[in-house]
Copies of this chain bind each other. A is one copy, B any other.
Amino acid sequence: MPDPITRKPTIIDVASLAGVSIKTVSRVINNERHVSVDMRTRVRQAVTELGFEANESARGMRSLAPEKSYVVAHLYGDAGGLYTHDIQLGLMERCRYFGYHLVVEELDYQSPDVERRAKDLVKRLKLDGAVLTAPLTDNEIVLSVLDEAGVPYVRVSPVTEVPHLPSVRIDEKRAAYQMTQHLLTYGHKRIAFIRGLPNHAATIYRFEGYAQALKEAGLEVDLGLVEDGEFRYFATIPCARRLLERDEPPTAIFACNDEMAVAVIKVAHEMGLTLPDDCSIVGFDDIPTSEMLWPSLTTVRQPVPRLGAMAGDLLFTRLSPLGTSEWPTPVPHQVLPHDIVLRGSTAPLRQP
């Protein structure tokens, strides 16, 4: 017989110390009803005295209700960027509040690896839930892995809204429409647009808003003024150069995220242009850098950490003990407000 001091105490040790059956111990540690106060006290005391901790494996073997893992995942598809980090910041804050832990997983949506990795994640960690950001929000493989495993998830800014899948986003199209109107109001007519990666709501709807504003102003989208910057600084440098070196350069440039707008400002500086007089430049997101620049950047403020926090709130409300393990009806589709932040990088069109 092993030394009782070295062995981890079991429910049997607790029962014999408290002088009750193991079933009673089980009832107490699981907070079941129908236990007398006396029993409860004696068991509680024995538990603390022995430092007893229930063996989760043994529990998991018999329990019908699978034990909650208290782990949720943020699944994202694009390596870097402040966007990802800010979503995590907001989500993390809610995780802490609700007592969950956050696992972050970058899934390469173009690789055959996705399915294996997603499945491994779900199985190994027994995920209680997930938050998806672009472009995984619309990735059929990832969604079906989660669906099959019964893992509830919230999509942040999906391309396609699906009625029964909760989502959180801003009104991308309207924001881009308003920003374009701001430029039009300043008298600009030759307004270039720099797109991000395809398959992102941020690219698709922002471009739509831009196009609609032009159209309503009686202007046409000039595809010669549309470039693809992949959301990234370095990819945007040549785009900005092409635009600004045209015979008739645009008088305003709308980059559909701030990182790309920063690249445009840099190129303009290098070319010796005076900002914002020679060219108005606007971005989208309001990353911290935008305010730090000179001139500081006119942009759309998207409450990114709040998007993450809101996604967490939806998830944790459903996962709470009171939750019905169903999404509420109607399924939530939150649209958070954005702001048009006017700063130093835009100015009225200079008269020729």
Contact = CB atoms under 8 A, between A and B. Distances in A.
Contacts of A37: none
Contact of A124 (B59, B71, B92): B71
Contacts of A88: 104
A165 interface: no
Interface string A268-303: 010000000000000000001100111000000000
23 contacts: A56-B57, A56-B60, A57-B57, A57-B58, A57-B59, A57-B61, A58-B61, A70-B124, A71-B124, A79-B89, A85-B85, A96-B117, A99-B120, A101-B121, A102-B104, A103-B104, A262-B289, A262-B292, A265-B292, A265-B294, A266-B292, A289-B292, A293-B294
Given A269-B294, A292-B289, A80 B71 contact: no
Most buried by B among A92, A121, A292: A292
A288 B233 contact: yes
B105 A102 contact: yes
Contacts of A292: 233, 262-263, 265-266, 289, 293
Given A57-B61, A96-B106, A102-B105, 15 more contacts: A57-B60, A69-B124, A70-B124, A71-B124, A71-B125, A80-B85, A101-B125, A104-B104, A125-B125, A233-B292, A265-B294, A289-B289, A289-B292, A292-B293, A293-B293
A55 interface: yes
A96 B104 CA distance: 11
A105 B89 CA distance: 10
Contacts of A141: none
A147 B117 CA distance: 30
